């Protein structure tokens, strides 16, 4: 029995892979002027893990670069935008990883986060890979309706639904 428990712990530990979120691209909705953009810019800049923010007022987008070796809270980015009075219409992020094997509809733990891959081909991710968040908080309602039946949810742990 003890050997089985040790094997289970080793198997689970091997599923927890290293990965670093290095940057994100966020498109906000509800902006009407440059002051709106500035409000989101300031809210994002206040986050501990954020190193730089570049805004594109014309397209309501923000490129966010994170500090090296900092834990990135994806939900905090969304909450900062909502706290500024707006919503997230689309969000992608760059994940740096060594070798991550994924399959469609696979749940993977990377660092301290759980990701569920949807609409992906079997492949190995290496280097910097752009992932798109599919959860309701990170999409327009129109885009969310397209994928909501495929999303994974777990009431015990936060799972981010993503695609490549």
Residue 69 counted as domain residue: yes
* pLDDT higher than threshold 60 for residue 12: no
**Per-residue pLDDT, 123:** 94
Average per-residue pLDDT for the chain: 89
Whole-structure pTM value: 0.85
Which residue range forms the structural domain that includes residue 55?
Answer: 17-163
Residue 33 counted as domain residue: yes
* Arithmetic mean of pLDDT, 118-132: 95
Residue 3 counted as domain residue: no
* pLDDT higher than threshold 60 for residue 152: yes
Residue in 4, 80, 6 with CA at minimum distance from that of residue 43: 80
Q: How confident is the model at residue 14 (pLDDT cuts 50, 70, 90)?
A: very low
* pLDDT higher than threshold 60 for residue 3: no
* Arithmetic mean of pLDDT, 9-36: 74
Read off the pLDDT of residues 67-87 as tens digits, 9 standing for 90 and up: 998 999 999 999 999 999 999
Looking at the 3D structure of the chain, how many domains does it have?
Answer: 1
The pair of structure tokens assigned to 78 is 């969304």
Residue 99 counted as domain residue: yes
**Per-residue pLDDT, 140:** 95
Which CATH number characterizes residue 144's domain?
A: 3.30.70.100
Residue 7 counted as domain residue: no
Residue 10 counted as domain residue: no
**Per-residue pLDDT, 69:** 85
Task: Work out the number of other CB atoms within 10 angstroms of the CB of residue 50.
Answer: 20
Residue 127 counted as domain residue: yes
The pair of structure tokens assigned to 115 is 């990701």
Within 13 Å and on the Cβ side, how many CA atoms surround 71?
A: 7
Residue 65 counted as domain residue: yes
């Amino acid at each position: 029995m003890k050997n089985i428990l040790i094997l289970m712990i080793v198997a689970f530990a091997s599923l927890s892979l290293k990965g670093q979120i290095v940057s994100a691209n966020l498109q906000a909705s509800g902006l009407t002027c440059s002051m709106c953009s500035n409000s989101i810019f300031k809210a994002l800049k206040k986050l501990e893990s954020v190193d730089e923010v570049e805004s594109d007022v014309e397209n309501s987008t923000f490129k966010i670069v994170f500090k090296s070796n900092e834990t990135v809270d994806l939900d905090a980015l969304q909450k900062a935008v909502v706290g500024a009075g707006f919503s997230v219409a689309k969000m992608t992020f760059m994940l740096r990883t060594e070798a991550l094997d994924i399959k469609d509809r696979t749940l993977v733990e990377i660092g301290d986060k759980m990701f569920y891959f949807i609409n992906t081909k079997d492949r190995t991710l290496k280097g910097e890979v752009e992932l798109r968040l599919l959860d309701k908080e990170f999409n327009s309602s129109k885009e969310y309706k397209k994928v909501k039946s495929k999303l994974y949810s777990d009431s015990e742990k936060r799972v981010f639904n993503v695609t490549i």
